[in-house]
């Protein structure tokens, strides 16, 4: 299981290396041996916290 900090670094790596070249997130997860389900859950949970803090 990966920590929140590790997943955040992974997401930054995806945005800077793979996304500009049109690579899908799922394939980037597979290539880097990150379970997509875990990443997706972290992403959804993190975005909810950001939205909640933004609204208050």
Give me the sign of the Cα torsion angle 21, 24, 29, 31: negative
pLDDT in tens, 31-44: 999 999 999 999 99
CA atoms within 13 A on the CB side of 21: 9
pLDDT in tens, 2-51: 999 999 999 999 999 999 999 999 999 999 999 999 999 999 998 876 55
Give me the sign of the Cα torsion angle 16, 41, 25, 31: positive
- The string over 36-46, giving b where at least 16 C-beta atoms fall within 10 Å of a residue's C-beta and e elsewhere, is eeebeebeeee
pLDDT band at 1 (very low <50, low <70, confident <90, very high): confident
């Amino acid at each position: 299981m990966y920590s929140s900090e590790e997943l955040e670094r992974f997401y930054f790596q995806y945005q800077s290396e793979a996304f500009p070249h049109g690579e899908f997130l799922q394939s980037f997860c597979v290539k880097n041996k990150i379970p997509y389900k875990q990443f997706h859950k972290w992403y959804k949970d993190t975005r909810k916290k950001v939205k909640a803090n933004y609204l208050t």
